[in-house]
Amino acid sequence: VSRAGEFRQLHRPGRPLLLPNAWDLASGALFAAAGFAAIGTTSLGVAAASGKPDGVAATRDETVALAGRLTRLPCLVTVDLEGGFDDEPAAVAELTQSLYLAGVVGVNLEDGRGDGTLAPVARQRAVIAAVKATTPDVFVNARTDTFWLAPRPPGSLDETLRRLSAYAEAGADGVFVPGLADPARIGQLVEAVDRPLNVLINPAGPPLAQLADLGVARVSCGSLLFRAAMTGAMRALDAVAAGGAGPTDLLTYADIQHLAEHAEWDGAGTS
Amino acid sequence: VSRAGEFRQLHRPGRPLLLPNAWDLASGALFAAAGFAAIGTTSLGVAAASGKPDGVAATRDETVALAGRLTRLPCLVTVDLEGGFDDEPAAVAELTQSLYLAGVVGVNLEDGRGDGTLAPVARQRAVIAAVKATTPDVFVNARTDTFWLAPRPPGSLDETLRRLSAYAEAGADGVFVPGLADPARIGQLVEAVDRPLNVLINPAGPPLAQLADLGVARVSCGSLLFRAAMTGAMRALDAVAAGGAGPTDLLTYADIQHLAEHAEWDGAGTS
Task: For residue A270, name the pLDDT band (cuts at 50, 70, 90).
Answer: very low
**pLDDT tens-digit series, residues B234-267:** 999 999 999 999 999 999 988 887 776 655 543 3
Is it the case that residue A54 has pLDDT exceeding 80?
no
Q: Give residue B258's pLDDT.
A: 77
Statement: residue B148 has pLDDT above 70:
yes
Tell me what the mean pLDDT of segment A22-32 comes to.
95
Q: Say if the Cβ atoms of B228 and A224 lie within 8 Å.
A: no
**Interface test mutation site (partner A, options B44, B62, B271, max chain A beta carbons within 10 A):** B271
Residue B150 has a pLDDT of 57
> Which member of A47, A221, A238 has the closest CB to residue B267?
A47
Q: What is the mean pLDDT of chain A?
A: 92
3-state secondary structure chain B: CCHHHHHHHCCCCCCCEEECEECCHHHHHHHHHCCCCEEEECHHHHHHHHCCCCCCCCCHHHHHHHHHHHCCCCCEEEEECCCCCCCCHHHHHHHHHHHHHCCCCEEEEECECCCCCECCHHHHHHHHHHHHHHCCCCEEEEECCCCCCCCCCCCCHHHHHHHHHHHHHCCCCEEECCCCCCHHHHHHHHHHCCCCEEEECCCCCCCHHHHHHCCCCEEECCCHHHHHHHHHHHHHHHHHHCCCCCCCCCCCHHHHHHHHHHHCCCCCCCC
Pairing of strands A21-22, A17-19: unpaired
Q: What is the pLDDT of residue A266?
A: 37
pLDDT average, residue stretch A73-97: 96
pTM, two decimals, is 0.94
More confident residue, B100 or B151: B100
Q: Quick one: average pLDDT of B210-214? A: 98
Residue A20: phi and psi, rounded to 5, are: -75, 140
Contact: A241, B56; criterion CB under 8 Å:
no
Across the interface, of A112, A222, A244, the residue whose CB is closest to B208 is A244
- For chains A and B, CB pairs below 8 A equal 309
Using CB atoms within 10 Å of the CB of residue A61, give its burial: 0 to 12 exposed, 13 to 18 middle, 19+ buried.
exposed
What rounded mean pLDDT belongs to chain B? Answer: 92
CA atoms of A194 and B201, how far apart (whole Å):
55
Report the gap between the CA of A59 and the closest CA in chain B (Å).
12
Q: Which long-range contacts (CB under 8 A, 24 or more apart) does A56-65 make?
A: A56/A114, A56/B266, A56/B268, A56/B269, A57/A82, A57/A83, A57/A84, A57/A85, A57/A86, A57/A114, A60/A85, A60/A95, A64/A95, A64/A98, A64/A99
- Which pLDDT does position A51 carry in this prediction? 78
For residues B116 and B151, is the Cβ–Cβ distance under 8 A?
yes
**B21-22/A17-19 β-pairing:** unpaired
B152 vs chain A: nearest CA distance in angstroms? 13
pLDDT at B151: 53
Interchain pair B246, A205: CB under 8 A: no
Using DSSP bridges, classify how beta strands A197-200 and B139-143 pair: parallel, antiparallel or unpaired. Answer: unpaired
pLDDT surpasses 60 at A151: no
**Alpha-carbon separation of residue A82 from A26, A110, A241 (angstroms):** 22, 5, 38
Per-residue model confidence (pLDDT) at position A237:
98
Q: Is the CB of residue B141 less than 8 Å from the CB of residue B109?
A: yes
> Is there a contact between A52 and B265 if contact means CB atoms under 8 Å apart?
yes
Rg, chain A, Cα only: 19
With CA atoms as reference, the chain B residue closest to A55 would be B269
| Residue numbers in B near A47 (CB within 8 A) | 265, 267, 269
Looking at residue A117, the DSSP 8-state letter turns out to be P
| ipTM of predicted assembly, 2 dp | 0.94
The answer to whether residue B269 scores a pLDDT higher than 60 is: no
Does B26 contact A235 at a Cβ distance shorter than 8 Å?
A: no
Q: At A192, is the pLDDT very low, low, confident or very high (cuts 50, 70, 90)?
A: very high
Across A180-184, average pLDDT: 93
**Closest residue to B25, CB basis, from A50, A207, A267:** A50
pLDDT bucket at B20, cuts 50 / 70 / 90: very high
Report the distance separating Cα B157 and Cα B194, nearest Å.
Answer: 15
C-alpha span between A101 and A4 (Å, rounded): 11
Q: Which amino acid belongs to residue A143?
A: R
Neighbours of A109 (CB within 10 A): 23
pLDDT confidence of residue A267: 36
The half-sphere exposure of A243 on its side-chain side, counting CA atoms within 13 A, is: 4
For B239, other C-beta atoms within 10 Å of its C-beta total 19
pLDDT, tens digit (0-9, with 9 covering 90-100), for A163-177: 999 999 999 999 999
- For chain B, percent of residues with pLDDT exceeding 90: 80
Neighbour count for residue A182 (Cβ, 10 Å): 12
Q: Beta strands A106-110 and B174-176: pairing type?
A: unpaired
Q: Residues A229-249: what's their mean pLDDT?
A: 97
